[in-house]
Amino acid sequence: MTLSERSRPRKATRDVRRRQLMEATIDVLATRGYASLTISDVSRGAGLSLGIVNFHFESKAALLADTLKYLAVQYRDNWMAAVEQAGEDPAARLYAMTSADFGEDVCTPRTLQAWVSFWAEAQSQPAYDEVYGEDEADYLQTLEVMCADLSAHGDYNRPQSGKLDARVINALTDGLWVALAHTPPGITRSEALDTLHNCLAAFYPAHFDANGPVN
């Protein structure tokens, strides 16, 4: 057995432990909130000792920053996979990207609560913007291109529609996430999708109606 082969189980264990701790952090954020979160809460939630937490994360701040990064990667991978599976049709790609925000992989009560907790702290924690700012910019740029492609494809003849439509859609989905994160939720996930459908139908009536894409 080579040295690299012997090191793989250790690395796998390290990754598993870190993931356990970040998942526990999400749970604590969802139940206790950002301000009340402690390392002890996280260790109990993960079923691991404080020593293990300190071994994998040098501080509470590092644990929170890595948890935000973990959520951002999940979110990015989710919408990118949805777009890849949608094919080449502009309407299908736009719908796949926007509706992915409400899929079960990323739109759960605990993850929504965690996201809202981080958003609330972003002004006092500029490092959080650095953690997910690049991914957010990539998402918005991709959304702008999709909106522009669909506008041109449908001959809607609306100047700057790509950038403006993308801003509205992005603000809408963010707002719907906040409503879904309320306890109890202000809306259901089905109602959130209905709201998205109506927005897309208003911008692109030849491609969407109140029920979603027009086949």
DSSP string, 180-204: HHSSS-SS-HHHHHHHHHHHHHHH-
Q: For residue 176, give the nearest of 104, 125, 107 by alpha carbon.
A: 107
Asked if residue 2 and residue 80 are part of one domain, the reply reads no
Overall number of domains in the chain: 2
Q: Which two tokens stand for residue 108?
A: 């759960």
Query: Looking at residue 9, what is its pLDDT?
Result: 56
Query: Looking at residue 1, what is its pLDDT?
Result: 43
- Domain end (from 57, 77, 98): 57
- CATH number for the domain spanning 23: value is 1.10.10.60
- Alpha carbon distance 126, 145 (integer Å): 28
Query: Looking at residue 169, what is its pLDDT?
Result: 97
Using an 8 Å Cβ cutoff, are 115 and 71 in contact?
yes
Number of C-beta neighbours around residue 215 at 10 A: 3
Asked if residue 94 and residue 27 are part of one domain, the reply reads no
Q: How far is CA 193 from the centre of its chain?
A: 16
- Alpha carbon distance 210, 214 (integer Å): 9
Asked if residue 143 and residue 37 are part of one domain, the reply reads no
Q: Is the pLDDT of residue 60 over 90?
A: yes
Asked if residue 99 and residue 29 are part of one domain, the reply reads no
What percentage of the chain has pLDDT greater than the value 70? 94
Q: What is the mean pLDDT of residues 52-69?
A: 92
Asked if residue 98 and residue 76 are part of one domain, the reply reads yes
- Domain end (from 23, 38, 57): 57
Q: Is the pLDDT of residue 3 over 50?
A: no
Asked if residue 96 and residue 19 are part of one domain, the reply reads no
Using an 8 Å Cβ cutoff, are 173 and 98 in contact?
yes
Q: Residues 97-107: pLDDT tens digits?
A: 999 999 999 99
Asked if residue 108 and residue 19 are part of one domain, the reply reads no
Listed in sequence order, the residues at least 6 apart from 10 whose beta carbon sits closer than 8 Å to its beta carbon are none
Q: What is the mean pLDDT of residues 32-49?
A: 93
Q: Exposed, middle or buried: residue 12 (CB in 10 Å: 0-12, 13-18, 19+)?
A: exposed
Asked if residue 167 and residue 68 are part of one domain, the reply reads yes
Q: For residue 35, give the nearest of 64, 6, 77 by alpha carbon.
A: 64
Predicted model pTM: 0.88
Asked if residue 69 and residue 174 are part of one domain, the reply reads yes
Strand partners, 90: none
Asked if residue 32 and residue 4 are part of one domain, the reply reads yes
For residue 93, give its domain range: 61-213
Query: What mean pLDDT, rounded, does the chain reach?
Result: 90
- CATH number for the domain spanning 134: value is 1.10.357.10
Q: Lowest-confidence range among 95-109, 127-141, 174-188?
A: 127-141
Asked if residue 102 and residue 16 are part of one domain, the reply reads no
Asked if residue 51 and residue 66 are part of one domain, the reply reads no
